[in-house]
Amino acid sequence: MIADRQLLKYFEVYTNFKIFLRRPVLLEHLREAKADKRRLRKALREFEEQFFKQTGRSPQKEDRIPMAEEYSEYKHTKAKIRKLCRTAALSQEEQERVKVALGTLVGCFISLLSSVLQTTSC
């Protein structure tokens, strides 16, 4: 039971470490997603301003049909940004914990492996 909890703890640390290693890649994806969001928002604003100039009112849902793909892409890009922010958001304290726990994790796996090898060799 205790070993199971320790393994779960080490697995969580390992998962956080993998995210920590991928963090520069995640941050690059985040920058790209934010640039996409700005580009889409600019196109949507231009559409909305043009529509307002022509009709004197803001576009309603049915008026946005010609730009439905852009609105959908904008919505998905915002969700992607939220997900990337959550994934890449390891605090400085968490980063230090991951570095320290990694040594413990390696030690745990070595001892686990050696006990398995001893059990199978008997």
Q: According to the model, what pLDDT value does residue 54 have?
A: 95
First to last CA, the chain: 24
Cβ distance 80 to 37 under 8 Å?
Answer: no
Q: According to the model, what pLDDT value does residue 62 have?
A: 95
Res. 87: pLDDT tops 70: yes
Check residues 45 and 105 and name the one with the higher pLDDT.
45
Q: What is the pLDDT of residues 21-77, one digit of tens each?
A: 677 777 888 899 999 999 999 999 999 999 999 999 999 999 999 999 999 999 999
> Of all residues in the chain, what percent carry a pLDDT higher than 90?
39
